[in-house]
Every structure is written in structure tokens, then in C-alpha cells.
Amino acid sequence: MRGLAWPDGYFAPLAVVAAAGLLLCGVGLFLDPRTTFAGWLTMCLFLVGLPLGAMTVLMVHGLTGGRWGDVLRPPLRAIVATLPVALLLFLPILARLDLVFPWAGADPAMLPEAVRQKLAYLNVPLFIGRFLACALAWLVLAWLVIGWTEPDGDRSRQGTTTGYAIGLIVHGLAVTVLAIDWMLSIRPEFTSTIYAMLEAAAEVVGACASALVVLAAGRAIETMPGGEEDVALGEDVANMLFGFMLMWAYLSFMQWLIVWAGDLPEEIHWYVLRGQDGWQYLLWLLIALQFVLPFFAFLMRSVKRSHRGLLGLGAAVLAGHFLDVVWRVRPSLSAAGAQLSWPDLAAFAGAGGAWCACFLYLWARPDRIAMWRRRLLRG
């Protein structure tokens, strides 16, 4: 199955945007390194969540089946193939962890007692080692999942129930490490046993919304037959995204409820910080885009049978997911409140442009994904 022709025209402009953004990020490292790294880390976490979420959806579909997954498979495979680029974006941060994480390079005597108790886990060598181990596990999983989900591949090479189940377990453990190391340890006083599940759910929402936008932009899936009689394929895809969105909303609410019921100052402050200095407006906006608006729209069959409706829903949920990542990560890295600075825009253009250019390059020619897989094996 060949991809659509439309992405080719966007590759060159995105490459220019990425180059300009990377150049500005280089300037930002000299003028305001902390703000530049804060914006860069936020974009890295958003971008790496897309291929990780796509892998989750592909493996879940491998266990469950269904036409919704068959139509989502091509864009999801292209998203998974961008994983090496997303992981490479983390390398600058690994070189200067002290600009992002308060425990890296700090005098232990100056840290709170709750943080000092975690230094056996939160130290630079182990942090880098865990990231490299997770990156290796994800690259192997990406190689396997892309091979298992080839549309016209040898059936003997297709994924098995056992393979998908083991893959989900390994993937879940790696996502847990990502959530703890790269997100929670930005403010190490905060502890949440549900945060890793929340991050995994958010990744699935972002990946599924991205795939829906790509499909709705190039195919009339709202007119294609779905899994049941008198049900359009667009309805099936929208209903699955609706279910993923509800899972994210449930986990987000449960974390908030547990933290406030526990009434621990270190944990409550995490929410207090995100409910003032302008971050509360970002919170209301992401709730509107990722929950309120799609909640009512997904219940309307006319919207799910509309080309513009599907495209708009996917775009709204994807934008809400981006704001969710910003709201969970950025406040702990900013002392000036919710202010949009030029280093943030530079990171958005540089990292985001590079990832989008890579995705469109792969999506325009699905055979390039097979080439990527062969090169990854040789490497």
C-alpha cells in the first residue's frame, strides 16, 4: 500500500522551519540556557510520546483485532518509525541534566530530606543508563512491531498473541521509567503511583489523534464501511479515540482526587503550582480541547460521519494533548509563570519541525519504513 502524494510538498518547508528553529535554539543556549532546555525537554516528551503511543495502539490491536486498527495501521507505523529521531532529540539534555533536574549536580545537603532519600535512584550515571536501556528496548520493539504489522508481509512473520503481550509488558515498564525519570523527577518531592499509567494513556490519545488527523486529511473514511452494518469506518475510529480519551480523563481525575484526599503538602503543591500564575488558564483550555468539546462531539453521529468533523475532532484532541504535556511538565521548569518565550517557540520549531519532516518523509513512501527497518537491523 502506497502513501498519499500530498506530504511531499510539505517536507522542504518543514525542513527549513526545523533548521531555523535549531539555529535559534543554539543561540538560546548562550543567552538563556535554562529556558531553552525547558522548552526543548517539553517538546521532546511530547514528540517521543507519539511513537510510544502508536506502538501501544498497534500492539493492543494485535491482541484484539478490528477494522479500526486496520485503517489506523499505516499512519501508526509511520509514527513508530520516527522513534529514532524522537530519541535523538534527548541527547542535548543528557549532556546538561543539571539545567533541568534539581537533583543533578546539586549538593545533597542543600536538597530537602524527601529528595535526599531518592538519590540512590536519582543520580546521573543510573539515569543515563536507564534511558539507554529503555531506548534500546523501544528500538527493538519498534523494529518488531513494524515487521509484525506489514500489510502484505509473510503470515509466518506476523505477530503472535504472546509476542504482543510480552511487548506490552516491556513497553509498560519502559514508559514507567520514562514517566518517573523525565517527568516526575523534575520536581522530585512529588510522588504519584498512577502517573505512569496517566502518561501511557496520554501517549495513546496523542498517537490515535495524530493518526486520525492524517487519515481524515487524505481519505474519506467517513464514507467507508465500518465493522458493523450501517456504521461508517470513521465512526469506529472516532469511538476508539473516544474510549482512549475517557481513560486519560479518568486517570487524570483519580490522580487529582487521591492527591487531595492524601492531603500531603509535597504532593498538593504540584497542583497548586499548576493552578496559578496563568497555568490555570492553560488547564481550562486543555480540558476544553481534550475532554469537554470531544466528549459532546463524539456522542453526535453526524459529526463522526462528517469529514470536517473527524478532522476537527482529531486536531482538537491532539492540541489538547500537547497542552496536557506542557501543563504537566513546564510549570516545574518556570519561575515566571505561564509565559511564552522565544526559546519555547524555537524549540517548538526545531524539534517539532524535524519530527514532522521525518514523519512526512516516511508517510509519503511506506517503502521507506521497510528500508528504515533494514538499516536499523544492520546498525
Confidence of residue 264 (pLDDT cuts 50, 70, 90): confident
Per the structure, the count of domains in the chain is 1
Tell me the C-alpha distance between 40 and 352, whole Å: 10
Asked, for residue 291, whether it belongs to a domain, the answer is yes
Cβ pair 191, 117 in contact under 8 A: no
Q: Is this model's pTM higher than 0.85 or not?
A: yes
Mean pLDDT of 228-236: 70
Mean pLDDT of 255-261: 90
Asked, for residue 114, whether it belongs to a domain, the answer is yes
Among 35-44, 75-84, 108-117, 217-226, which is the least confidently predicted range?
A: 217-226
Q: Which domain holds residue 56?
A: 8-217+230-378
What are the pLDDT digits (tens) for 354-366? 999 889 888 877 7
Tell me the C-alpha distance between 295 and 298, whole Å: 6
* pLDDT above 50 (res 1): no
Asked, for residue 349, whether it belongs to a domain, the answer is yes
Residue 65: the pLDDT is 82
Return the amino acid letter for 94: L
Cβ pair 144, 159 in contact under 8 A: yes
Please name the helix (run of DSSP H) or strand (run of DSSP E) that holds residue 22, with its range, or none. Answer: helix 8-31
Asked, for residue 224, whether it belongs to a domain, the answer is no
* pLDDT above 90 (res 118): no
Here the cell at position 168 is: 506490552
Tell me the C-alpha distance between 74 and 88, whole Å: 23
Tell me the C-alpha distance between 46 and 72, whole Å: 20
As a whole number, the mean pLDDT across the chain is 86
Tell me the C-alpha distance between 287 and 248, whole Å: 11
Residue 314 has phi, psi (to 5 degrees) of: -60, -45
Mean pLDDT of 121-149: 93
Residue 135: the pLDDT is 96
DSSP 221-282: GGGSB-SSTT-BHHHHHHHHHHHHHHHHHHHHHHHHHHHHHHT-HHHHHHHHHTTSTTHHHH
Instruction: Quote the Cα angle for 312-6-214, to 5°.
Output: 35
Confidence of residue 256 (pLDDT cuts 50, 70, 90): very high
DSSP 176-226: HHHIIIIIGGGSTT---TTHHHHHHHHHHHHHHHHHHHHHHHH--GGGSB-
Residue 239: the pLDDT is 86
Asked, for residue 2, whether it belongs to a domain, the answer is no
* pLDDT above 90 (res 53): yes
Among 18-27, 182-191, 205-214, 228-237, which is the least confidently predicted range?
A: 228-237
3-state secondary structure 291-349: HHHHHHHHCCHHHHCCHHHHHHHHHHHHHHHHHHHHHHHHHHHCCCCCCCCHHHHHHHH
Compare 259 and 372 and report the one with higher pLDDT: 259
What are the pLDDT digits (tens) for 72-87? 888 999 999 999 999 9
Is the Cα torsion angle 366, 369, 370, 372 positive or negative in sign?
positive
Long-range Cβ contacts of 106-110 (<8 Å, 24+ apart): none
Residue 3: the pLDDT is 38
Asked, for residue 223, whether it belongs to a domain, the answer is no
Residue 209: the pLDDT is 94
Residue 250: the pLDDT is 95
* pLDDT above 50 (res 16): yes
What are the pLDDT digits (tens) for 154-171? 444 566 788 899 999 999
Residue 71: the pLDDT is 83
Asked, for residue 124, whether it belongs to a domain, the answer is yes
Residue 5: the pLDDT is 46
Residues forming beta bridges with residue 270, ordered by sequence position: none
What are the pLDDT digits (tens) for 290-300? 999 988 988 88
Residue 158: the pLDDT is 62
Q: CA torsion 121→124→130→134, rounded to 10°?
A: 140
Asked, for residue 147, whether it belongs to a domain, the answer is yes
Long-range Cβ contacts of 147-156 (<8 Å, 24+ apart): 147/373, 148/58, 148/62, 149/58, 149/62, 149/73, 149/76, 149/77, 150/370, 151/1, 151/73, 151/74, 152/1
